[in-house]
Amino acid sequence: MILHDITREKMIERMKTEFVSLSAHQLRTPLSAIKWTLRMLLDGDLGEITKEQKEYIGKTYESNERMIDLINDLLNVTRIEEGRYLYEPTLTDFQAIVQFVINSFKEEIKKKRIKFEFKKTEEKLPEVKVDVEKMRLAVQNLLNNAISYTPSGGEVTISLKYDKDKIEVAVKDTGIGIPQDQQERVFSKFFRATNAIRKETKGTGLGLYIAKNIIEAHGGKIWFESKEDKGSTFYFTLPVEKRFEEFLKRL
């Protein structure tokens, strides 16, 4: 038997997490102020601007939005690592969660001319006990990836399935896929596939890591199938509380 004292490593790891959390909190306030100032300029609240000025300010606004997204992702990661991520799990209609996320992407789907389909179950789904805000974030991260990595004119499908004691969700796309030799790292922090980097798609490399932790914290499982240049399908399951399953059987 070999014993190794990891006290120092754990202390350094905790200090890193605290530093990231503190830095992210300090950065979020000025970035939010910049966001609203730029928004006021773009909306003409501070006076008229030329087309060229609007174009430059628009690009700055988008860059600032990406920074805010990164900060939010970093804060989510630190909360996960500190073990204080799920707050108020409640019994919820999961289909409503998925629909809420889909509605937030309608403009982007339309802009990219993506053929989108939401396949619902014929029977009413039993309720699941989840932290609604966090579960929306998990679905949002998966759908955002599908849309971001699918070229204009491609297809994205979300489907729901109820199987005995669990709900299964599948997010399928016809995008760039994930290279076979990189698939083991997909759920790692800051992972971005080489083909995604080459195409200069935006992303922090934290979305799937966060989604995985949210789903597993709810007692679920997540996995995927992917072929480069063919697309990807991400699946995850969530357990259903037994009493609701029994209630449905009596209907």
CA distance 93 to 120: 13
Whether the predicted pLDDT of 44 surpasses 90: no
The terminus-to-terminus CA distance of the chain in angstroms comes to 58
pLDDT of 94-137, one tens digit each? 999 999 999 999 999 999 999 999 999 888 888 888 989 889 99
Higher pLDDT, 18 or 171: 171
The pLDDT of 7-32, averaged and rounded, is 70
Residue 231's Cβ-count burial label (10 Å; 0-12, 13-18, 19+) is buried
Per-residue confidence (pLDDT) for residue 248, from 0 to 100: 42
CA distance 77 to 89: 19
CA distance 141 to 135: 10
Q: What is the DSSP letter of 188?
A: S
- Separation of CA 4 from chain center: 37
130's enclosing H/E stretch is: strand 128-130
pLDDT of 136-178, one tens digit each? 999 999 999 999 999 999 999 999 999 878 999 999 999 999 9
pLDDT above 90 as % of the chain: 42
Cα→Cα distances 198→119, 194, 201, 202, 228, Å: 32, 6, 8, 11, 13
| Pairing outcome for strands 115-119 and 155-163 | parallel
Signed CA dihedral, 159, 161, 166, 168: sign only:
negative
Residue 248 carries which side chain, given as an amino acid letter? L
Contact 88, 210 (CB under 8 A): no
Whether the predicted pLDDT of 244 surpasses 60: no
CA distance 74 to 85: 13
Whether the predicted pLDDT of 19 surpasses 70: no
Per-residue confidence (pLDDT) for residue 245, from 0 to 100: 46
Closest CA to 147 of 125, 176, 126, 169: 176
CA distance 42 to 4: 58
